[in-house]
Amino acid sequence: MTESPLTEAEIVEAERELGVSFPDEYRVYLHEVSAGGALFRLERTGRGWWWAGNDEARRELLAAPFPHPDSYTGADDELMACEPEPEAFEDDAAYQEAWRAWDDKVGRFEDLKTAGAVVIQEHGCGFSTLLALTGPLAGTVWWDGRATCDLIVPLSLDHACGAQPVRFGQWLEHGSWALLPPGWGPPPVPPSPVVRR
């Protein structure tokens, strides 16, 4: 079911309240196609504008630039290497306390990996499609595959030659499954538009 589009005034109000400028192609979608439809709906809630299906606790991270996954690989490796080991502690209580502190740090770090982005589609089993709204990658679309491989990867038309992430309009034409790296999803999937026109 397609949700009604937003008015220009509603889009401006949402951008002002959220502290971001929507990428042009997404803005056109919201104004001319739908406020949701095949995507999670951008709606006015009791706490202000937000996307259905997205955790409102992430609101504070929205204005931060979406980071390219290559930018935090080293920090990710360092953090994983620091996981407390039981044998390094005198007793289980001390180990549990250290492990909880480390796990909290990991959780905060994981949240930062999707700063500046929102989930626009959920695919089940913890997989989702992200739209970067801020920073140099604003307007590009990504696959959050952390549920199984701890990676966020670009959805791309050419994974063999650099995997340049597609822009929102290209994603609408192909859909996430057709833009995954080889071997990441079902057997080769032909493009299936997210929105049929």
Condensed to tens digits (0 to 9), the pLDDT of residues 128-141 reads: 999 999 999 999 99
> What is the rounded CA–CA span in Å between residue 175 and residue 177?
6
pLDDT in tens, 41-52: 999 999 999 999
**% of residues, the chain, pLDDT over 90:** 83
Mean pLDDT value of segment 124-130: 94
Mean pLDDT value of segment 23-36: 96
> What is the rounded CA–CA span in Å between residue 28 and residue 93?
55
- Other beta carbons within 10 angstroms of residue 29's beta carbon come to 25
What secondary structure does DSSP assign to 54-106, as a single string?
S-GGGGGGTTSPPPPGGGGHHHHHHHHHT---GGGSSSHHHHHHHHHHHHHHH
pLDDT band of 193, cuts 50, 70, 90: confident
pLDDT in tens, 143-191: 999 998 889 999 999 998 889 999 999 999 999 999 999 888 776 667 7
User: According to the model, what pLDDT value does residue 188 have?
Assistant: 66
- Other beta carbons within 10 angstroms of residue 65's beta carbon come to 16
Q: What is the pTM of this model?
A: 0.92
User: According to the model, what pLDDT value does residue 1 have?
Assistant: 46
Tokens of 100: 């909880």
